[in-house]
Amino acid sequence: MALGFWNVAQAHPNKVFLVEPDGTEHTGAELVEASNRLAHALKDLGLEPGDVVASLLPNSAVYVQLYLACFRTGLYLTPINYHLAPPEVAYIVNDSGAKAFFTSERFADLATKAATEISVPANARISDGEIEGFRTVDELIEGASTELPQSDVAGNTMHYTSGTTGQPKGVKRALAQIDPDTMGEMMTFMISLFGIQPEGDEVHLVVAPCYHTAVTIFGMGSLHMGHKIVLMDRWTPEECLDAIDHHQVTHSHMVPTMFHRMLALPQEVRERYDVSSMTHAIHSAAPCPVEIKQEMLAWWGNSIYEYYGATEGGGTLVTPEQWRQKPGTVGTPWPISTIKIFDDDGNEQPPGEVGTVWMSMGEYSFEYKGDKEKTDKSWRDGFFTVGDAGYLDEDGWLFLVDRKADMIIAGGVNIYPAEIEAALLTHPDVGDAAVFGVPDDDLGEQIKAVIEPTAGVAADDATRERVMDHLRARLGKQKWPRSIDFIDEMPRDPNGKLYKRKLRDPYWEGRTRLI
């Protein structure tokens, strides 16, 4: 069976491969024709293999068509977070060296302000819809050929890291000298690791913005596998359940925050939707609290799969059955990967000892575009790290404890906020939680917790005391927060990633953290 989008679309031209958030459906033949025209239009703009196209687009047919066009012609696609400020968008466009910039009239104000600072020529500023100073997609592709472009090299994505420290950096991989059809087939590897089969009636639900690396990998990988993909525009717990029920979704990529929020729905709401079609709810991005995952397994059955990876690469995988035997693990290495734990001096750690997680994927490599120093610090003897802390048990299973940069050092004791956050999230009054270190003249740092209360719960001392009683029964005294603050809404992006620095940085203004 030939995989890769163009092969499966040719075999099934009338099959619906894409459903947009508004319900608009697109067949294989329609997607091939639209992406072919875009590909030829990009070539007519003068773009050549290795060039970059930046996009500021919502989950839409245009994004999927642009991805396919870039993939078909050896171009890099750099999707940009549309929650950024105009200077941040402009920085990524310019830093990537983009020769074309695509956006949507939905982001007209953001795109227009960013455009005043970007170097992309006017004729290569393209909008899905009308924006002053931009050409429309329809104008761009008018008269463009619908013939399948031929190329000896497939394109790739160059996603930018979230920029937790300093400016975000593009994670750039050299283009493999492999044709798009063959590379499309190879793009199904990640999904196949979970036992998901090609073609058939499989349906993948895209629950988060496509500017996230994993969302693109799993969404577009499903397309290359011959699956239908259904796009959500804005994730809410009930709309997610409704989409699963309505489209008979079989697999999706999620994050633990989504699990927590779906579990928080009233029982009668949860029972309203049939989720029995789900065979694979694959999650990553952050450690999942053990109790949360146990509840999801009880609700959705053995469909909760987990892996560990990053924009830079990965990783590990654990099936539901394996996780039940090793609660809390993020799995064992992929067939192409090796995991090692090193201390700060470069010594490999024995089983059970926490250190920095380093990964190897054979001959695979990447660079942080324009930042040789960061690239060099991230690599050691063929292994790379993204700064996570964890340990391997005696059987080789990986357990994460936290991001190393988020670790709190209080009185010389290393404290990992993720453990405290997991305990907080099991209290019914806590809708969301973040834990981090704030300055302490005596201890160096002290533990601060910030809580988004569950709807209807008061942000008062009585709630603080109930939550603290809950923690005292579960954690050692050294892990108790010295203070708890309340917040109306936690600063998370639509994929569930917590921007902890927005909470922590004000406390450290004028001070220097040791980590």
Domain check: are 113 and 214 in the same one? yes
Nearest by Cα to 475 from 496, 449, 505: 449
Residue 367 in domain: yes
Domain check: are 27 and 120 in the same one? yes
Give the three-class secondary structure for 188.
coil
Residue 267 in domain: no
Query: Which residue, chain included where needed, has tokens 């991805």?
Result: 67
Domain check: are 71 and 15 in the same one? yes
Residue 102 in domain: yes
Give tens-digit pLDDT for 438-467. 888 777 789 999 999 998 999 999 999 999
Mean pLDDT (the chain) is 91
Q: Look at the chain and report how many structural domains it folds into.
A: 3
Burial 298-314 (b: 16+ CB within 10 A, else e): eebeebbbbbbbbbbbb
So what's the pLDDT on residue 162?
A: 63
Give every CB contact of residue 148 below 8 A, 6+ residues apart in sequence. Answer: 6, 32, 36, 72
Under 8 Å between Cβ of 20 and 231: yes
Residue 391 in domain: yes
Give tens-digit pLDDT for 311-322. 787 789 999 999
Residue 275 in domain: no
417-424 and 461-472 are packed helices; what angle lies between their axes, rounded to 10 degrees? 110
Give every CB contact of residue 221 below 8 A, 6+ residues apart in sequence. Answer: 187, 188, 190, 191
Domain check: are 62 and 90 in the same one? yes
pLDDT at 510 over 80: no
Dmax of the chain from CA atoms? 71
Give tens-digit pLDDT for 357-395. 999 987 777 888 878 888 888 888 888 888 888 999 999
C-alpha count within 13 angstroms, C-beta hemisphere, residue 327: 8
Give the three-class secondary structure for 123.
helix
Domain check: are 486 and 362 in the same one? no
Q: At 164, is the pLDDT very low, low, confident or very high (cuts 50, 70, 90)? A: very low
The residue range of the domain holding 37 is 5-158+178-221
Residue 315 in domain: no
So what's the pLDDT on residue 452?
A: 94
The proportion of the chain whose per-residue pLDDT surpasses 90, expressed as a percent, equals: 67
Q: What is the CATH number of the domain that holds 432?
A: 3.30.300.30
Domain check: are 395 and 423 in the same one? no
